[in-house]
Amino acid sequence: MKMFCTNCGKQNPEESKFCSSCGASTEALPPQNKAAYINKKEEMTFSKSISTCLSKYIDFGGRASRPEYWWFYLFTILLSWGGMLVDSSTYSDSTQIVSGLVNLALFLPSIAAGARRLHDTGRSGWWQLIAITIIGIIPLIIWLASKGEEGNNKYGTPS
């Protein structure tokens, strides 16, 4: 009987109790039930989305899931607010050095994550430019929040 990881779906040697890849417990499954664990998607968490988006700093290709994009968006907002708090408590005038540096450092990863998110919905990343028109922010938010295309599209496989 083959042993499959209950977390990542990886096949492990017989009689193994823990996955050699992720360390989760394994379960013996008859061959017809192994599909339940194979290709199981890993849940996107706050910290995983941050590491994914920062590791793809200027990668405008591929696709990004909704949780990956929105967790990273929350991270950028929180970091920006943190920078503004530091600026307001450190500098007496309206100097915004820290928040400016934070926003500058996260600008490209945010644009890249947005492009990958639009790719997941079947649209080009260039559609982000519609936000310049102010009214274009509405359809852009709808596209970024909508469900991605099932299966492969011209931008790659779902993440």
Q: What are the structural domain ranges in the chain?
A: 2-36, 46-145
Q: How far apart are CA 138 and CA 153, in angstroms?
A: 24
* Cβ–Cβ < 8 Å for 26, 16: yes
pTM reported for the whole predicted model? 0.73
Supply the pLDDT for residue 17: 73
Give, for all 159 residues of the chain, the pLDDT tens digit: 566 666 666 677 777 777 766 666 766 655 445 455 445 567 889 999 999 999 999 999 999 999 999 999 999 999 999 999 999 888 767 788 999 999 999 999 999 999 999 999 999 999 999 999 999 999 999 999 999 999 899 999 887
* Cβ–Cβ < 8 Å for 117, 146: no
Q: How far apart are CA 125 and CA 103, in angstroms?
A: 20
Supply the pLDDT for residue 158: 86
